[in-house]
Amino acid sequence: MKFERRDFGKLRHGALRAAVLLAVAIAALAWTTIDERKARTERNAALAAKNSIEQKLGQIRADEPDIRRRIEQFRAMDDAGIVGPERRLDWTEQLRDLQRELRLPGMTYEFGPQTALDGAPASGYAYHASNLKVRLRLLHEGDLLNFLDRLQREAKAMVLVRNCRMARLPSGDAGADGARLSAECSMEWVTLSQPSARKKP
């Protein structure tokens, strides 16, 4: 069969009708496909959200005693002054009070700049530490132990003693204050704070 030019005219209406039907078919299919995908995506999102909250609920039910214990622990840390920005003024006053109360003949100290503990997260609460180097003149070794013990119990930070060096004073250095020993300790004053709190001057 050979096509002639006039045959295309005869086929025009048929082709047009077929094209219209095809377009309607494609449009219907496209619309329903998009609608189905959207509905499926919404269902998947709803399922994920439901599973997530279900998991969180199960977790919090299981962890409720643990969470309460941790909250109490956190509040105890807060009460002890560990939570929040460093209170260096309080710290220095505390050091002087201790020197006076323990009748330590001599004390010099130096707080280093605050640094982040390893493993600090990008957001939320994080531990930071300031290094303290303190030099003491002691009447006897018990003064050092009392000093460290009271610092750990009373300081408004978590105090981690890193090292201590205690030595006899040379006989020439023992002055009128009666000191017989010298001590030099390094310790970390650890606090817990949020990024917003750390930015405060």
Q: How far is the CB of 137 from other proteins (least distance, A)?
A: 15
Residue 62 within binding range of other proteins, rule CB under 8 A: no
Quick one: which segment of 60-68, 90-98, 100-108, 172-180 binds other proteins (CB under 8 A)? 60-68
Task: Return the residue of 49, 100, 173, 195 that touches other proteins, per CB under 8 A.
Answer: 49
Q: Number of residues in contact with other proteins, rule: CB under 8 A?
A: 84
| Strands 126-138 and 158-168, bridge-based pairing | unpaired
Tell me the per-residue interface mask from 65 to 94 with other proteins, x by CB under 8 A, - otherwise.
Answer: -xxx-xx-xxx-xx---x------------
Quick one: which segment of 90-98, 99-107, 125-133, 172-180 binds other proteins (CB under 8 A)? 125-133
Residues 6+ apart with CB under 8 A from 130: 86, 88, 111, 112, 113, 114, 115, 157, 188, 189, 191
Residue 32 within binding range of other proteins, rule CB under 8 A: yes
Question: How many Cβ atoms from other residues are within 10 Å of residue 56's Cβ?
Answer: 10
Task: Return the residue of 131, 135, 174, 198 that touches other proteins, per CB under 8 A.
Answer: 131
Task: Give, as ranges, the residues between 139 and 168 that touch other proteins (CB under 8 A).
Answer: 141, 145, 148-149, 152, 158-168
Quick one: which segment of 87-95, 96-104, 123-131, 171-179 binds other proteins (CB under 8 A)? 123-131
Task: Return the residue of 56, 100, 103, 140 that touches other proteins, per CB under 8 A.
Answer: 56
Residue 63 within binding range of other proteins, rule CB under 8 A: yes
Q: What is the CA angle 156-151-185, rounded to 5?
A: 120
Nearer to other proteins, 123 or 176 (CB): 123
Nearer to other proteins, 44 or 92 (CB): 44
